[in-house]
Homo-oligomer: A and B are copies of this chain.
Amino acid sequence: MKKEHVEQIQNVIEAAKGKDIKNIFFVACGGSMAALSLGEYFVTKDTSMASFVYTSNEFIHRAPKALGENSLVILRSHSGTTPETVDAATYAREQGALTVAISMDVESALCKESEYTVHYNYKDGSDAIDGEIGVYYTLLFKLLNLLTGEEKFLRGVDQLSKIDQLIESNQAKYKDVADAFGKKYKRDKVIYTMASGAYIHHAYSFTSCLLMEMLWIHSNAIHSGEYFHGPFEVTDYDVPFLMVVGEGPSTPLDQRALDFVTKYSEKVEVVNVKEFDYTGVDEDLKEYFGPALAGPVLRLYADGLAEHTGHPLSVRRYMWKMEY
């Protein structure tokens, strides 16, 4: 990892050490919120620290009372320009919280509004370790180590050096099946996603940003545990589900939902994160690397749909075209 990124992350950790942090807020919009949410998942699972996720505008308007000088607020925006998230940084700072911006652009409004900045590279040919996955996971592992003292998270930092080749090998494994998915489902106007645990955030991201935003396909990210409490009644032989079976403690929830949905729908596609390539990753770290690798694999499924529908992922009707 580039020295600049290592230093930025270390500065955040030192700042957190220097304060009596009592809660952590992860605040962003859309895909950035979903990506950040992995932090809330692991913080609540592995530590007794209170941790919350908010979409930026809800954060500002709800104005959670627990937010204050004992709060760490981690914000994220790819461009660093998302107005709601910039406002959320201002708001959090005004409440005395420690603010950290994650973005590809250190000169952005979000980074200027936040006390600390963690930068990641984007499409500049650099390795994944300096991209959004490597940088965010390094921050997360160091934060989890700070909060728990567990050495496994430092091993996690070391093993992130494998992230480049793991993304590559897993994408290679799923490339053809993702393309076949695009061919098979290109006529479908509704495609559900389903997942649980850390992966529900990938399902949300795939639903909101890839299916709805980029492909104009109706969707809903269903929690595998919630599936049986309402949504499953919509299941029919011709209703498609893209199911993520996670690597982590909630895998039994996914498996139960998968067993049911494959019985009643003929259109179920599975991304089984347990079967990913984890070469070089310790057994006790797989549940952390699984969500890191699921994103790039799922992306291929959107590429497959784009290819076969002839609807490029870059097309928008509203975004970049008007004020809203």
Contacts and interface: CB of A to CB of B under 8 A. Distances in A.
Interface string A203-238: 000011100111011111101011011111111100
B190 A218 contact: yes
B62 A249 contact: yes
B66 A317 contact: no
Nearest to A231: B212
Contacts of A231: 208, 212-213
Contact of A318 (B64, B214, B232): B232
Interface in A262-294: 264
A29 B249 CA distance: 18
Contact of A233 (B213, B228, B229): B213
A117 interface: no
Chain A interface bracket (under 10, 10 to 19, 20 to 34, 35 or more): 35 or more
Interface string A60-93: 0111111010000000000000101000000000
A232 B30 CA distance: 11
Contact of A197 (B31, B58, B68, B253): B58
A169 interface: no
Contacts of A260: 318, 324
B230 A30 contact: yes
A50 interface: yes
10 contacts: A29-B225, A30-B229, A55-B226, A57-B250, A58-B196, A58-B225, A61-B196, A189-B190, A232-B318, A235-B317
